Amino acid sequence: MTNPTSIITQLPTPSFLINPHPKHVFREAIAKLPMNGVNTICEEAKCPNRGECLPHHGTISIMVMGSICTRGCPFCAVTTGKPLALDPGEPQKVVEIARALNVRYLVMTSPNRDELEDGGASQFVKIVTALREFNPALKIEILVPDFQGKENSFAGLLKNPPDVLAHDLQTVPRLYGPIRPGAEYGRSLNLFRWFNGKADTSKVMLKAGLMVGFGEREEEVMEVLSDAAQAGVKFFTIGQYLKPPGSTLEVTEYVPLERYQRFTQFGKSLGLMVQASPLTRSSYLADRLASGSKEV
């Protein structure tokens, strides 16, 4: 029997998975910003939308705390290894990027920093605090790791919370072993449950996301949506997995457009704001999703 994974690699990429905006425009735009060593998840994760968001929407997703991750998830293009020490000047550097872009909504994420006692939670707080001092009206979204389930790290984030706190579930529970080693589905859900119970959910909105195309079943995705809604999640993103350079993890399926529509409708029935499309990524048009815009 022929392996279906080997078949999918021989098929042409569907047109709906090609963002027509040229990537070099992103690199040229970034070159004009005072990045000062701060990375973007747009480039580090080889996002297919990186030619669109900054040049056409004026949005960017900052990757703080370096570009080296302590975990080795095969779906991810971020480098695995031993991270460098945290940069005490990073909060002000992020402020300078926000100032240069004159953004109203800023997204930042980080690699897993499991070698740090708090997983980097205190650095997130320092950056959020600096941004609030710079512009109290600025909306801030942080896409966080699971902090190994440490509630002290969760509590630390509430010292100066973002407007949206996001965490990616990445895939369905059955596929965690091969797709998301080092993580646990229940632990990630507990992160949302903890914040839903502790945070003022009228001020801190919770956001989750996953990728499809790993061989998950439609009903499994529906179950994840239900779990997320019950855990207090407000926003949810779903997009197609695309194999990054150097990865051995193949695409199992290019998910058809009508399935994303069913995910969106099911999520809506649960009270979720869902952005589901082939090119959707965690921070793609994040400001529009958070505002409830119908244009996402």
Residues 6+ apart with CB under 8 A from 28: none
Note the pLDDT of residue 244: 83
Q: Residue 141's beta-bridge partner residues?
A: 107, 164
Angle at CA 103, nearest 5°, toward 24 and 272? 95
Q: Residue 124's beta-bridge partner residues?
A: none
Q: Residue 80's beta-bridge partner residues?
A: 69
Note the pLDDT of residue 41: 75
Q: Which structural domains are found in the chain, ordered by start?
A: 32-291 (3.20.20.70)
Is 33 in contact with 100 (CB distance < 8 Å)? Answer: yes
Q: How far apart are the C-alpha atoms of 180 and 71, rounded to whole Å?
A: 9
Please state whether the predicted TM-score (pTM) of the whole model is above 0.85: yes
Amino acid at 86: L
| Six token digits for residue 58 | 């004026």
What residues in the chain have per-residue pLDDT under 50?
A: 1-8
Question: What's the pLDDT tens digit per position in 6-17?
Answer: 444 555 677 777
Note the pLDDT of residue 152: 97
Note the pLDDT of residue 295: 52
Note the pLDDT of residue 296: 53
Q: How far apart are the C-alpha atoms of 97 and 89, rounded to whole Å?
A: 13
Note the pLDDT of residue 154: 96
Note the pLDDT of residue 141: 95
Q: Residue 160 burial (CB < 10 Å; 0-12/13-18/19+)?
A: middle
CA 271 to chain centre: 21
Note the pLDDT of residue 202: 67
Q: Residue 9 burial (CB < 10 Å; 0-12/13-18/19+)?
A: exposed
Q: What are phi and psi of 90, to 5 degrees?
A: -65, -40
Question: What's the pLDDT tens digit per position in 186-203?
Answer: 999 999 999 999 866 667
